[in-house]
């Protein structure tokens, strides 16, 4: 990418401020077990590669956990570890509905009490149409 100081290269369009914007939350329905269902909101985060769910939420709803064959370390943009320890578990694939999109998603289990369900880039790419 080339940077120009020439005024002729300035493009017209909306300016985006550098301050944070509100989170993008949408309703989600999760079906688990034989007849269990939960409705809540999910955070959409295009900077997260996969999808995540809070470990306390998993325990509260007695969702089935599977141990990962290989633990996965999580890193932030500068390469530093996001939190202590690698991800060790994921949920069994859960049936989710977001608006008219129905999928099975295996969520990585992390500690995320403020945003207990995070839909990442993998889901967004699948539904980008």
How confident is the model at residue 38, as a pLDDT?
Answer: 95
Greater confidence (58 vs 83) lies with 58
How confident is the model at residue 102, as a pLDDT?
Answer: 94
Tell the CATH superfamily of the 24-126 domain.
Acid Proteases (2.40.70.10)
pLDDT, tens digit (0-9, with 9 covering 90-100), for 3-50 = 444 444 455 677 767 776 667 899 999 999 888 999 999 999 888 888
Residues 6+ apart with CB under 8 A from 40: 27, 28, 30, 116, 117
How confident is the model at residue 11, as a pLDDT?
Answer: 57
- CA–CA distance, 108 with 65 (Å, rounded to integer): 10
Domain residue extents for the chain: 24-126
pLDDT, tens digit (0-9, with 9 covering 90-100), for 65-82 = 999 999 888 776 677 776
Q: Is the pLDDT of residue 123 over 60?
A: yes
- CA–CA distance, 91 with 75 (Å, rounded to integer): 21
How confident is the model at residue 77, as a pLDDT?
Answer: 67
How are beta strands 36-44 and 25-32 bridged, if at all?
Answer: antiparallel
Look up the pTM and report it.
Answer: 0.78
How confident is the model at residue 118, as a pLDDT?
Answer: 94
């Amino acid at each position: 990418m080339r940077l120009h100081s020439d005024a002729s290269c300035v493009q017209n369009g909306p300016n985006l401020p550098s301050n944070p914007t509100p989170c993008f939350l949408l309703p989600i329905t999760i079906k688990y077990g034989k007849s269990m269902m939960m409705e809540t909101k999910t955070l959409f985060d295009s900077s997260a590669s996969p999808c995540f769910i809070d470990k306390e939420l998993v325990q509260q709803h007695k969702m089935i956990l599977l141990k990962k064959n290989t633990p996965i370390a999580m890193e932030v943009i500068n390469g530093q570890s996001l939190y202590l320890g690698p991800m060790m578990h994921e949920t069994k694939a859960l049936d989710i509905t977001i608006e008219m999109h129905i999928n099975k998603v295996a969520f990585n289990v992390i500690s995320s009490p403020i945003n207990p369900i995070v839909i990442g880039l993998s889901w967004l790419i699948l539904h980008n149409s």
